[in-house]
Structure 1
Amino acid sequence: MLEISGLDVHYDGVHALRGLSLTVGQGEIVALLGNNGAGKTTTMSATSGLVRPSGGKVLFEGEDITGLAAHKITSRGLVHCPEGRRIFSTLSVHDNLLLGGYLVRDQAEIKRRIDHVYGLLPRLAERRAQQGGTLSGGEQQMLAIGRAMVTGPRLLLLDEPSMGLAPLVVAQVMELIADINASGTAVLLVEQNASAALKIAHRGYVLENGVGTLSGTGEELRSDPRVVEAYLGGS
């Protein structure tokens, strides 16, 4: 579904990505691992049109989307759920979800998608009239993912969905991602919690200083001594 080849991104003279190449296939969860500053979020932003690459190509379902405006990329079914949740805190849960359908003209389809999200996340259904800013951190993350799902992704970019969450909630978020994937949505997952990400990922890549250094199946990376030492706490 997604093919990134030779991607370069510069920020204010800093070479943030250096010839990065990766793929995400139909039905896959692909994890992108690396320390802070490795280029993970830049990869997501360049893929979704928030940042313009200085070199390389991004192909989505065979179409060159390199440098295309973000809303045009979203309308094609490549949807970015950014780091930090970024929900509308003064709007209700339901209104946040409605905004996920901003580009969708069919009101019946928006309702169907929101009902699907409520089915996946009954806690959001219970709180549909509650202001987003009054939810717990885990609930806000669920809302951010749910809003992205209303957009109708065929490929979902998830940036640090477990950030700041308790271990039990992290497990719930990872279960949700696996459920979304099982329903037919491919996922590119940027995640600081490498152990949690690799448990659900079919494949993964490791980024260091803007360069892809390792790749393999989730199981291969979980057992790779370099990954264990750097990202899995040496255990």
Structure 2
Amino acid sequence: MKTILDIKGLEVAYGKVEALRGLDLTVGENEIVALLGNNGAGKSTTVSTISGVVRSRAGTVTAYGEDITAATPWSVVERGIVHVPEGRRIFSRLTVHENLQLGGYTVRDSSSIDKRIEQVYDLFPRMAERRNQQGGTLSGGEQQMLAIGRAMVAGPRLVMLDEPSMGLAPLVVAHVMDAIMSINRAGTSVLLIEQNARAALKIAHRGYVIDSGRVTVTGPATELRADPQVVEAYLGA
């Protein structure tokens, strides 16, 4: 399998607090990789560093064979890597359709934007029903669908989803996870950051567990689901 994202020895600190301590991680082409861990483990810092929002003090981030360790956030998006942040961060006063249009701000071909928006509406029919509704009036689950849909309008080769299940009812979580699998089947690689290890490992090909900025366990998702350490810490006995 071709590696499209390769992180080696990544170190990040906020002042004297070390958030990442020599993190190694890879994502393969057409793969869903789950990044699991408790609050404060370094999951969000990892994706924020990949996307150029946070700067590392050591280590490298390579995407599609190119070193993007020092790349700006907008140039990372232009390279086909899109970050859906924790908390959705949609534009609450803009309509669903306007939010989706903004997802294509790096896309120069307007017809491609229109086509991708229609694909989002096919993936999330509820968004089509609410296309003229302000984003701030949507439910939490609908806002998560909108945030994912907005990312897909950029046409990413790799999409990084930070806690997409947070605060959602179990049925909505299942719907979001189904959508992530559909996105992956259509050819987009996924780095899935989750505290909900059970949901993430059901759809992931591989997974990493991090604790205090270090990888503690890694392997195929099927093996992680049976790993006593993972079961005890994240899945329940």
- TM-score grouping bracket, smaller chain normalisation: over 0.9
Q: What residue is the counterpart of 1:132 in the other structure? A: 135
The ranges of structure 1 where at least 4 consecutive aligned residues each deviate by more than 2 angstroms after the TM superposition are none
Q: What residue is the counterpart of 2:211 in the other structure? A: 208
Matched residue SS, 1:6: strand
Q: What residue is the counterpart of 1:179 in the other structure? A: 182
State the Cα distance separating 1:12 from its structure 2 match: 1.5
Q: What residue is the counterpart of 2:33 in the other structure? A: 30
Q: What residue is the counterpart of 1:157 in the other structure? A: 160
Matched residue SS, 2:71: coil
Q: What residue is the counterpart of 2:12 in the other structure? A: 9
Equivalent in 100, 114, 119 of residue 111 of structure 1: 114
State the percentage of identical aligned residues.
68
Alignment partners' CA distance in 1, 2:230 and 2:141: 27
- Structure 2 residue runs of 5 or longer lacking an equivalent are none
User: Cα deviation per residue 1:200-227 (whole Å; 9 max; x = unaligned)?
Assistant: 0000000000001110001100000000
Matched residue SS, 2:94: coil
TM-score (norm 1): 0.99
Q: Which letter maps to 1:125?
A: A
Alignment partners' CA distance in 2, 1:71 and 1:12: 25
Alignment partners' CA distance in 1, 2:193 and 2:132: 31
Matched residue SS, 1:84: coil
2:95 aligned with 1:92, yes or no? Answer: yes
Q: Which letter maps to 2:100?
A: L
RMSD: 0.5
Alignment partners' CA distance in 1, 2:140 and 2:224: 29
**Paired residues, what number?**
234
Q: What residue is the counterpart of 2:196 in the other structure? A: 193
Q: Which letter maps to 1:63?
A: E
Q: Which letter maps to 2:61?
A: V
User: Cα deviation per residue 1:141-165 (whole Å; 9 max; x = unaligned)?
Assistant: 0000000000111000000000000
State the Cα distance separating 1:172 from its structure 2 match: 0.5
Q: Which letter maps to 1:206?
A: V
